[in-house]
Amino acid sequence: MHIERVEIRRVYMPYVSPFETSGWREEGIHHIIIRLDVDGATGWGETPIGRNPFYNEENTDTCWILQRDYLIPSLLQTDLSSPYDVPGAFAKIRGNRMAKSGLEFAVWDLFGHIEGRSMAAMLGGTRSEVAVGVSVGIQKDIDTLLDVVGEYLDDGYRRIKLKIKPGWDIEPTRAVREKWPDLALQVDANSIYTLGDAEHLAELDEFNLLLIEQPLPHDDIFDHAKLVPQVNTPICLDESIVSSDHARWALEMNACGIINIKPSRIGGFVDAIRIHDLCQAHNVPVWHGGMLESGIGRASNVALASLPNFSLPGDISANSRYFHRDIVTNPFTLNEGSTLTVPTTPGCGAIVDEAYLEEVTVDKLEFRPQ
Ligand code: NPG
């Protein structure tokens, strides 16, 4: 099968409230939405990339250029018999995994519509609901943090992740732990510490956290392996795991006890499933990260999170936690028990609000086979 038409759109959608990590602060998303068409069937995908290269090396501009000049021309030339053909179509192009991922997701969605299968079923999902939590950005002070966490708990979320950085780590975590002694709580440093901070990071051990996520640099695995024996809390890798090979290296080096899988960071579902399976074989739990996706990327995240080894709650909150209005007409709502329901309709299950998508579009391009 050859794709007949590709459309990419840069979109801007404001968040309900700004999101701040140890490395950046954003007021909204600057993602790329992809649409593929073949013979009356449509597939949607999202590259949930940052406007600036502060999380990884890519940004919206680099993804746009890579998709326009390399990835879409390759995809249009490829005779696809399954979504598993996509990584091969992109194999010559090194790195740029976020740029690749949205196109791969759209091919999965397209095949789901053509074959009448849900994305979760295609990926090997086994759950009808996935456990989710909220990632709480850095706040202006501890009182505000406690209010924000309290609101999410009132909404029904049962797992909270706190963003931390030097000067905003031990005390905010202590305050949340003291107020909610039984809360499932974890922290995320987004690569801001160094191995010299090992003793400081070990101070987090007293708070009974599920995990400490990506304390050391984004491209490091070696020093994480040195950190692991110095803290009792499980170390989870995010930024450092960009492929199934990186996951294998980390497991062989004992650089982490848990892995956060974001399929967009890894270039798509094909390699993300390999990481899931590898971790399962090693009895290493995984959980699904988030990149504040619109309803399109959110639906495909929920599908992947339905695989069996996603055994910790994901950063996949209900759409209303991110946006007042989303580009889908069927947003996820939080179930009792802090879960989202896995769609069973063909593809990822998102119903795109094309009129609103047009409103939030900043730029768009269309491609057809030459
Ligand atoms: O709920 O989607 C969400 C946000 C989860 O904290 C979250 N994502 O470092 O994991 C992260 C962070 C992130 C956001 C990373 C945007 C990159 C871009």
The structural domains of the chain, with segments of one domain joined by +, span: 5-116+350-367, 122-341
Atom of ligand 1 nearest to the CA of 137: 6
- Please tell me if the CB atom of residue 213 comes closer than 6 angstroms to any atom of ligand 1: no
Residues for the chain: how many in total? 370
Domain 5-116+350-367 has CATH 3.40.50.300: no
- Pick left, alpha or beta for residue 338 (phi over 0 → left; psi -120 to 50 → alpha; otherwise beta): left
Which atom of ligand 1 is the closest one to the Cα of 315? 1
Q: Which residue's alpha carbon is at the smallest distance from atom 12 of ligand 1?
A: 291
Pocket-testing residue among 135, 162, 240, ligand 1, by greatest number of atoms within 8 A of Cβ: 135
Look up 262 and say whether it is catalytic.
Answer: yes
Q: Is 157 in the pocket of ligand 1 (CB under 6 A)?
A: no
238 CA: nearest ligand 1 atom: 10
CATH node for 122-341: 3.20.20.120
Q: Give me ligand 1 centre to Cα 163, in Å.
A: 10
Q: Say if ligand 1 is within 6 A of residue 290 CB.
A: yes
| Residue of 21, 32, 132 best suited for mutating to test ligand 1, as the one with most atoms within 8 Å of CB | 21
Q: Are strands 32-38 and 41-47 parallel, antiparallel or unpaired?
A: antiparallel
CA dist 291 and 31 (Å) reads: 10
CA distance 79 to 107: 12
User: What is the whole-number distance in angstroms between the Cα of residue 188 and the centre of ligand 1?
Assistant: 9
Residue pair 10/364 in contact by the 8 Å Cβ criterion: yes
The per-residue pLDDT for 194 is 98
* pLDDT at res. 213: 98
Tally the C-alpha atoms within 13 A of residue 62's C-alpha that lie toward its C-beta.
16
56 lines ligand 1 (CB under 6 A): no
How many beta carbons lie within 10 A of that of residue 208, not counting itself? Answer: 14
Element at 277 (helix H, strand E): helix 269-281
Please give the helix or strand (H or E) that residue 230 lies within, else none.
none
pLDDT at 370: 86
At CA 333, angle to CA 329 and CA 336, rounded to 5? 160
**163 counts as catalytic:** yes
Which residues are within 8 A (CB) of 196 and not within 5 positions of it... i.e. 6 or more apart? none
Q: Give the integer Cα–Cα distance in Å for 341 and 331.
A: 11
Q: Give the tens place of pLDDT for each residue, 56-101.
A: 999 999 999 999 999 999 999 999 999 999 999 999 999 999 999 9
Report yes or no on whether pTM surpasses 0.95: yes
DSSP 8-state assignment for residue 243: S
Q: Ligand 1: does its nearest atom lie under 6 Å from the Cβ of 317?
A: yes
263 within ligand 1 shell (Cβ under 6 A) = no
Cβ of 55 closer than 6 Å to ligand 1, yes or no, is: yes
The pLDDT tens digits along the chain (370 residues) read 999 999 999 999 999 999 999 999 999 999 999 999 999 999 999 999 999 999 999 999 999 999 999 999 999 999 999 999 999 999 999 999 999 999 999 999 999 999 999 999 999 999 999 999 999 999 999 999 999 999 999 999 999 999 999 999 999 999 999 999 999 999 999 999 999 999 999 999 999 999 999 999 999 999 999 999 999 999 999 999 999 999 999 999 999 999 999 999 999 999 999 999 999 999 999 999 999 999 999 999 999 999 999 999 999 999 999 999 999 999 999 999 999 999 999 999 999 999 999 999 999 999 999 8
Q: At what angle do helices 244-252 and 269-281 cross, to 10 degrees?
A: 20
CA of 187 to the centre of ligand 1 (A): 12
Query: Does ligand 1 lie within 6 Å of residue 188's CB atom?
Result: yes
Choose the catalytic residue: 92, 100, 165, 262. Answer: 262
| Distance (Å, whole) CA 300 – CA 17 | 24
Closest ligand 1 atom, residue 163 Cα: 6
Catalytic residue (choose from 140, 161, 163, 364)? 163
Q: Is the CB of residue 215 below 6 angstroms from any atom belonging to ligand 1?
A: no
